[in-house]
A and B are shown apart, each in its own frame.
Chain A
């Protein structure tokens, strides 16, 4: 049940809209209910081959030898792939954004760093034959000590999970082994606070568990191209990743996707497309690489575990004057998207509250667990849980109603945030008021009369007079660059100049696309339930002010 509370910010709203606020049908719903939506596995190919991976039974082990001779002789086996068959067998997903160092092989050749890491791939006529051949690959393992806890992984002498990051920490901006936020001076504020409240919070990994498991089918196309039907959530992301790993121009890859059987973030890792295309390249036949449910749960990257320590300094009247975070993201064995999750999470600190002194050290930590990746709001969800649980603890300590505490400390329009942007479009005060009303919670008179529009700005818009900084966790040998590129000249493959493609021929019989109808605002104004206050400033009227980018809305 959705309830629109249009009495809030009534003069900033434009209800003269065509679509928003009205129910509409999904454009793909007819295909869904008739069973005709084309998911990646709904494309049939004559002579389809099946790929299954040989996976590590250990959390952490060196590979001494891989013997594929028996597997190659198994019925139906067409080819066995090893790391040496992958043109560029090292990647990090965000290298497409120049963020981080290549750290993860497609098929590992030297060591494995998590249970289920692939070291070889069988291509066979049937899935059952591929499964049977997987069992015949003999790997000689040298089991290494493993580490499964983020704080253990940061202790001196902990096993090195990923050789690219020998301290088990991602390197931020080429400068530090963690992401820092410094705003004001928390230690000075702790000294004058009436209360100190500390807490430790953690969240387990969470599997996205889409109904459709991840997979891709690739097949040779005419014109020396490969078509790839995929369950990916990021079609061009997967295209770029495949082009990099296979060292071929992306113009030779024809990706088809968009019909995804549930993703929730777990289908961005582009694990399947490169291997399926490589199979099609080396066999000349269509190849399917898809996880079964067990693989989806065991090796599919989850939302990563997080652990947070929060320390607050509070005055007697409930104002939070300092908040200090130490955070550990469990990235698992490789980076995938955890480095980015922390950038996003630290930008979100200290939560939606105006706190004049904020400090955070957040580590992206490598452990011998399944690599973590995206999932619905990742980077924010875990720390928000920690922050809100901590707010309740603070309320208990100072003897305040937890909603009153939140309203007192909420961002107001015009407040300076810890990442040095002014808060605008704030609405937490109003949300808290409605929650209290719905929950039958009696608020203080101050909370009832509070609004996001008043009380902000002025002194609260100022940056701290002094911010305490430090060099803890500084690293050397990394180039700043955009993010975290390693310095020192040519490392890794250099971009190859691609031949300039001929201009596309104009097809005489290409169907003419009808011109899109011009935008027409809704003709009739909706009936006003309660007469909204007419906008004082007509020049600022309209939905444009809702854009967080335009900056036109109230500040």
Chain B
């Protein structure tokens, strides 16, 4: 099977690995690169557990070809804490916004892109932003609270 080299930025560091033809970004990141933070939930773009950020926008890594990130910037939940935990991570911990934790990496990616674009989102905008991320444990309310609290803290800071 033909393998293609893929060079890209992952959480600020240059990475290169081989991708088999047809390999999706989720499996590429997990198996070839070794970043296990994006999760497989459905493999068909409905659950959002595999959400990553490519050039500042959210993408479902299970529906993205690995070679599509050639030369681009990819961010995942494992790179969110840079020396210390990110304010979103702190808020998720404080607000009990994770139970089993499986949707959390994808949820954090959607939340980060929202706050990067819109520092003062309304509750409805938060709900819209995470509408592609399913969570079976929390009932969403603690997650929405955590994201809104992060925005509030940043405004006050």
Contact = CB atoms under 8 A, between A and B. Distances in A.
Contacts of B96: 23, 26
B17 interface: no
Interface string B21-33: 0100000000100
B137 A34 contact: no
Contacts of B101: 28-29, 31-33, 37, 259, 261
Contacts of A210: 100, 102, 136
B93 interface: yes
Contact of B81 (A29, A34, A128, A261): A34
Interface stretch (B36-44, B66-74, B113-121, B122-130): B36-44
Nearest to B134: A211
B46 to A, nearest CB: 8
A361 interface: no
B85 to A, nearest CB: 7
A247 to B, nearest CB: 33
Nearest to A29: B93
Interface residues of B, number: 38
B41 A293 contact: yes
Given A211-B47, A211-B136, A33 B39 contact: no
Interface in B88-110: 89, 92-94, 96, 98-105, 108
B102 A261 contact: yes
B10 interface: no
Contacts of A212: 39-41, 100, 102
A41 to B, nearest CB: 7
Nearest to A126: B20
A260 interface: yes
A37 B89 CA distance: 14
**Which one of B31, B47, B101 has the highest number of Cβ atoms from chain A below 10 Å of its Cβ?**
B101
Given A211-B135, A262-B136, A36 B37 contact: yes
A22 interface: no
A211 B103 contact: yes
B100 A33 contact: no
A214 to B, nearest CB: 12
Given A44-B34, A261-B39, A34 B100 contact: no
B100 A261 contact: yes
A30 B93 contact: yes
Contacts of A293: 41-44, 47
B37 A33 contact: no
Secondary structure dominating the interface of A: loop
B78 A33 contact: no
A146 B41 CA distance: 33
Contact of B76 (A35, A262, A264): A35
A260 B78 contact: no
A262 B93 contact: no
Given A33-B89, A44-B31, A262-B137, A211 B98 contact: no
Given A211-B103, A264-B136, A293-B44, A35 B93 contact: no
Given A29-B93, A211-B39, A292-B43, A35 B100 contact: no
B77 A262 contact: no
A34 B103 contact: no
A34 B102 contact: no
A31 B104 CA distance: 10
A264 B31 CA distance: 28
A35 B31 contact: no
Contact of B77 (A25, A34, A259): A34
Contacts of A34: 37, 77-78, 80-81, 85, 89
A212 B40 CA distance: 7
B144 interface: no
B53 interface: no
A165 interface: no
B147 interface: no
A270 B105 CA distance: 27
A39 interface: yes
Contacts of B98: 26, 29, 32-33
Interface string A229-251: 00000000000000000000000
Given A32-B98, A36-B37, A37-B101, 12 more contacts: A28-B101, A32-B92, A32-B101, A33-B93, A34-B77, A34-B80, A35-B36, A35-B108, A44-B34, A210-B136, A211-B102, A211-B103
Interface of A: 23, 25-26, 28-37, 39, 41-42, 44, 128, 209-213, 259-264, 292-293
8 nearest CB pairs, A to B: A35-B37, A32-B101, A261-B102, A35-B77, A33-B89, A293-B42, A211-B102, A35-B105
